[in-house]
Amino acid sequence: MKLRDDFIIYILDTTACGVIISLMTREELFRLHEEICTGAKELMKKKNADYASSQDPFMNFRRAEFLGFSSAEMGVLIRMTDKMSRISTFLNRGQLSLENESVYDAIVDMINYSVILAGLLKDRETNKPQ
């Protein structure tokens, strides 16, 4: 059987299910990526306005440093771990949403935490004493 090269193939569990072929094309995946990331950026703008300041977009994460708990970067990693645990719960239960959050909400949060971590690292590198 010849497959089109624009199909994305996932092998989930060859012992229980055999080979599962996604009918999502590469272009559909790229459109989904754009849609999710656009939504993630809009959510980040809203949350950043609530939790940070225009002078320091990382203020809420830097509070962990100011209070002596951990670095801002480690604070972001802790949040990411929380979200990974939430995604794991969704997958283990076989349901993609709980009462107040869907797996997609947690994925968007992971995207935003990844961007925040990249921003913190870049900010720290840019502002490192010479």
Put residue 94 in one of left, alpha, beta given phi > 0 → left and psi -120 to 50 → alpha: left
Looking at residue 122, its amino acid is K
The rounded distance, in Å, linking the Cα atoms of 84 and 53 is 27
Contact 114, 80 (CB under 8 A): yes
pLDDT at 9: 44
Alpha helices for 20-102 (secondary structure H): 26-51, 59-66, 72-93
Q: Is 15 helix (H, G, I), strand (E, B) or coil?
A: coil
Residue ranges of the domains in the chain? Answer: 32-126
pTM, two decimal places: 0.78
- Cα angle 80-50-81, degrees, rounded to a multiple of 5: 5
Please choose, from the candidates 37, 28, 33, the residue with its C-alpha nearest in 3D space to the C-alpha of residue 111. 37
pLDDT at 96: 74
pLDDT at 101: 84
Please choose, from the candidates 114, 112, 113, 106, the residue with its C-alpha nearest in 3D space to the C-alpha of residue 83. 106
pLDDT at 17: 57
pLDDT at 58: 94
Specify the length of the chain in residues: 130
pLDDT at 30: 96
pLDDT along the chain (130 residues), means of 10: 44 54 88 96 96 92 90 95 93 81 93 97 84
